Structure 1
Amino acid sequence: MDISVRANVKDLQKTLTALANKQIKFATALALTTIAKEVQADEIHNISLVFKKPKPFTQKSVGVKGARKDNLTAIVFVRPIAAKYLEPYEVGGLHVLSGRALLNPKDIKLNAYGQLPRNVLERLKARKDIFIGPVKTKSGSVNGVWQRIPPKEGQKARRGRAASVAQPGHLKLLIRFGDPINVNKRLNYRSRAQAIVNHRFNAVFGDAMAKALATAK
C-alpha cells in the first residue's frame, strides 16, 4: 500500500522562504520517518487490541525503514513469517496453519499467551498413555490427541454402605484437530495507517521543518 503526501508538501512549499526550500528534502525525510514510526506504534498497539495476549514475536514483527534526503520514502512493514499468518486478519480468509490442521486445545495447560506451548505435540507423542488419531464418538469421528485413562477399582464396601462401582478406562480428549476456519477479526492495517497520515502529516512536517531550519548552516 502506497500513501503519497506529495500534494501536502507542494502546498506547504509555496509558503516557505528560500532557506526553508533548501532544507525541504531533509525536513520531508524527517517528517516521513516520524509519521512512519507513529503508524508503527499504532499498529503494534492495535495488535494487542485485536488479539488476546499476542506473543511478543507478533508485536515486534512490525518494523520501519526510514526515509532519506535521496529517497523520500518511509516504509512500515510486517516481517515475512508474521505477515503470512496476519494477512487473513487484514484481507479476510482462512486461518493460516503451521501444520495441516488447526489445534484446538480441550484439556491441556496453555502458556501465558493462551496458546499451546512449543513442541507440546512432540512431548505428548513420546508418552505411553497418549493416543493420536480419530476416535468414534456419539457425535461422530473426532481426530485429535487422546489420553488413555486407566480403569479405577471400586471402593470396598463398609458396614452400612454399598461398594462403589468401578470406573472403566476411557479416552480423554486433550487436543482436537480441525480444519482451517474463517477469520472473523480485522486489523484494518491500511485504513488506520491512512487515517494517521491524513490527520498528522502537516503538523509533523511543520515540526520537522522547524528542526531543519534550526540546524541549517
Structure 2
Amino acid sequence: MKKTIQILAALFVTMVIQAQEKRNPGHFTGLNVTGSLDVTLIKGAEGVTVSASKEVTDHLKTEVKNDILYIYMEGKYKAKGEVHIEVSFNTMRQIILNGSGDIVTKDHIDTPNLQVELVGSGDITINVRAENVKASLNGSGDLKLEGKASNFEAYLVGSGDLEAIRLESENVKVNVSGSGDASVYASKAIMARVEGSGDIKYGGNPAAEDTKVSGSGSIEKK
C-alpha cells in the first residue's frame, strides 16, 4: 500500500511539473526556431501551445517581429526534459530552423510561396502545396518535403540530405555543394548541379534536362 502511494505521488509530481501553457504572440506568417526545440505545425487559430516544465516555459521565448514568430530559449539556458511545442497557423510563408531541433507539419501548408531554411543538424518535414518553393540546407541536417509545387529550387551545402522525391514539382533547380544527397521530382524541366562528392537523383521524366557534375559526385535519373 505504501509503495502504491509513493508511485501515485510520483506521478502527481510529474503531472504538476510537466504543464501545458497556451500563448497568443500575435499574427505571423513565418516561423524561426533556434536551438534543440521540437515544433509541430498545425492549421488553426494562430497560437502556441507549450508542454514542458515550468522552468522551461519560464525561459522559452515566443515573440513576433515583422510577421515572423521567433521561438528560442532565453540566454544560454538549455531546455531540460521533454519539451513539446505546437504552433497553430493560418498562413505560413517562411520556415527557418537553426540548430538541432525538429519541425514537422501535421497538416499540409497551402501558400503561393514558401521558403524553407535549415542550418545545423536539425530535421524539417513539410507537406506543402505551393506555386513556388525555395529550400536551403546548410549543415548535416535532413530536409524532407512532399506535396505539389510548380517551381522548386533547392541549395545544399555540407553533408545534409534533401528528400523531395514526393514533392511533385514541374520545374526544378537543385544545387549540391559538398557531400550531401538530394532526391527530387520534376515533370517538365530540371537543372541540376553537383560540386563535390554529393549525389542528385531525380524522377518525373522531365523533357528538359540540364545537368553538370564537378567533382566525384553524380546525377542520376531514377
Larger radius of gyration: 1
| TM-score where L is the length of structure 2 | 0.20
Structure-1-length-normalised TM-score: 0.20
Which structure has greater helix proportion?
Answer: 1
More strand by share: 2
